[in-house]
Structure 1
Amino acid sequence: MYYLDRNRFQTSTENLKNLKIIVIGDFILDEYLIGEVNRISPEAPVPVVWVRKEKITLGGAGNVVKNLSSLGVQSIVLGRAGKDDKAKILSELLEKENTDSQKNFLIQSAEVPTILKTRVIAGHQQVCRIDKEELKPITEKEEKQLIQAFLDRIDSADGVILSDYDKGTLTPKIIYEISRICLERKKIVTVDPQVSHFFQYQGASILTPNHHEAGKALGRKLETDSEILQAAEEITEKLSCPSLMITRGEKGMSLYLTSQKEIFHIPTVAREVFDVTGAGDTVISTYTAYHAAGLSELDASVVSNAAAGVVVAKLGAETVTPEELKNSLSAMGTFQG
């Protein structure tokens, strides 16, 4: 078992409130219609959901912002929304989180709507999901605006998260320029990747795909530890990145460090898995925050693994607090000193 120094963890936790992380990617609104089913519709063989509660929250890259905010980290938001009423809701929700409203930059495009995903839930069971979106990449003009906005803000940031949901914000040019700028300025840049862009994230500090995504990128299944190791070696060589984290569901996660040519298998800590929605956002948010706050790549991975164990025991895309993290790590016997 790998042990984490308690004092080092505590010091980095105290540093979180001093951090600023740029979150750039696809911002989404998640709407929930929650109710009961007591009958089948006479119009079609489908359940009639009697809605008793409605809520709307941040999804996609917005869920990364929520996770950072829960840890006490301030975010700077860069992305795209539509030119509609939903964009106002998105902006208002972002301002309620710990974001720098003076530096947030959301392009408002008349070409696409603000992305809205509506989930109809009855008795903790999702009945259906309704997506309102147009999958169009940002224009060349918008690319320039976003890159300039990034350049204007990067020097005040401690790290960058690329939250890629393949909705059109992170084009090849955006990915290339962000990675290049971060490399030049020696900034941490972490990536929650899409398979369609997988080998475009050149020089990123770390990618955090799950084993399905990493396998699809390489064209094969990844199941055993040896297959994970071989995949990690191939991916880091192709991307020239110093580390790679592959999340593996009930098998936990595996962290490969290029400089050491060594892989660390970190077992899962979840005692109960209720809902895995948003767990990947929690992992990349926690890892980035704690690495930027001073923990090593391995220590930050252990902490992010514990964070994932906390959120999968909650319903929906939830977050974790530093206190919950501390309690989880203590319960696991991870601390030393």
Structure 2
Amino acid sequence: MKIKKSSLKQSFAKLSNTKVLVIGDLILDEYLIGSVERISPEAPVPVVWVRDEKQTLGGSGNVVQNLTSIGVNGIVFGRIGEDKAGENLERILLSNAVAKEDLVLLKSKTIPTILKTRIIASHQQVCRVDREEIIPLTKEEETEIIIQLKGKIKDASAVILSDYDKGYLTPSLIQAIIAVCNAEKKIVTVDPQVSHFFLYKNIHIMTPNHHEAGKALGKKLVTDAEIENACREIAKELTPDAMMITRGEKGMSIYERTTDLFYHIPTVAKEVFDVTGAGDTVITTYTAFVATGMSIKEAALVSNVSAGIVVGKLGAATVTQTEIEDALKNLGYLDEES
């Protein structure tokens, strides 16, 4: 399986004129980075001497970061709290080349911004502290979001539903969003939650990992045959154009429903340093490149290579066009003569 160099270059050229609408659960990721030199006298736990700290986008925000990194403009729908974390999250979104008019944020007085704090020592995560209140949107809020979506959807080439089950993507909102996208003939891709798994009907593609797909079906998915049967079973219920199941060290499997074809793509990760956000990279790069006109198979190959790059980095990392092209070339996936 190879991608023509001319096809890749054409897609790269189109990315800057591609706009992807991201709708889902926004999270602020905080990292406290330091070293451990002693155990606390108060309890048998390490004392982390913090030497650096940073905040970055998590959840659907990491999808936005991935879009920016490959040169794609984003339209962002999500919920934050009226708090310091919300201010920081909004500031970071704006710094990621999201235009203010393309930032459609529901700001809550009562629900705090989701904040996940990871404490890192010697390149290892010591612990994570979560601050969140999972409260679903009201019907009035859902109605307002759909009104805003109808006003923005025409500017988008594709729509990503980034579902972390934190209350923003309610069952009724999911169905309403897909209906609007289908009416406007927009590509819809979904990074799903098991609790909503069979609500994502009539989309372009869903990208669960094998644990999520297996849990939704009530069975373990290990072999290629089990993955293929699962894809067919899910596709029969949801009628997507395609299914993608990511499989960790086994790479990913893609099923084209209309042709009944499967592609099993092996992992290309040389060293797995941190899998945080790898799923976000997969759906982002796949969606962006399909939106430029790449085939399902080609876009899947790009997304697999991109995931292999980010797992070798710390935290919810991103990839660039240069990294993608270099990786495709080094792995022998790029047809240089085209």
Scaled by the length of structure 1, the TM-score of the pair is 0.98
**In the alignment, which residue of structure 2 is the partner of 1:123?**
122
**In the alignment, which residue of structure 1 is the partner of 2:234?**
235
**In the alignment, which residue of structure 1 is the partner of 2:218?**
219
Provide runs of 4+ in structure 1 moved above 4 Å: none
Does the aligned pair in 2 maintain the 1:72–1:98 contact within 8 Å? no
Residue 197 of structure 1, CA deviation: 0.5
Does the aligned pair in 2 maintain the 1:79–1:146 contact within 8 Å? no
Residue 14 of structure 1, CA deviation: 0.9
**In the alignment, which residue of structure 2 is the partner of 1:314?**
313
Does the aligned pair in 2 maintain the 1:229–1:256 contact within 8 Å? yes
**Cα distance per residue 1:85-144 (max 9 Å; x no partner):** 211111100000021211211101123100000011111111111100001111111111
The equivalences for 1:41-80 within 5 A come to 41-80=40-79
Q: Does 1:40 align with 2:42?
A: no
The equivalences for 1:1-337 within 5 A come to 2-336=1-335, 337=338
CA distance in 2, matches of 1:272, 1:329: 17
**Cα distance per residue 1:245-264 (max 9 Å; x no partner):** 00011111000000001111
Does the aligned pair in 2 maintain the 1:73–1:98 contact within 8 Å? no
CA distance in 2, matches of 1:245, 1:34: 35
> Which letter maps to 1:186?
K
Does the aligned pair in 1 maintain the 2:74–2:102 contact within 8 Å? no
Structure 2: segments with no counterpart, 5+ residues: none
CA distance in 2, matches of 1:262, 1:228: 13
CA distance in 2, matches of 1:25, 1:40: 40
> Which letter maps to 2:92?
L
Residue 329 of structure 1, CA deviation: 0.1
CA distance in 2, matches of 1:141, 1:84: 22
Q: Please give the secondary structure, in 2, of the residue aligned with 1:329.
A: helix
Aligned length: 336
Structure 1: segments with no counterpart, 5+ residues: none
Does the aligned pair in 1 maintain the 2:243–2:254 contact within 8 Å? yes
The CA RMSD measured in Å over matched residues stands at 0.8
Residue 186 of structure 1, CA deviation: 1.1
Does the aligned pair in 1 maintain the 2:158–2:186 contact within 8 Å? yes
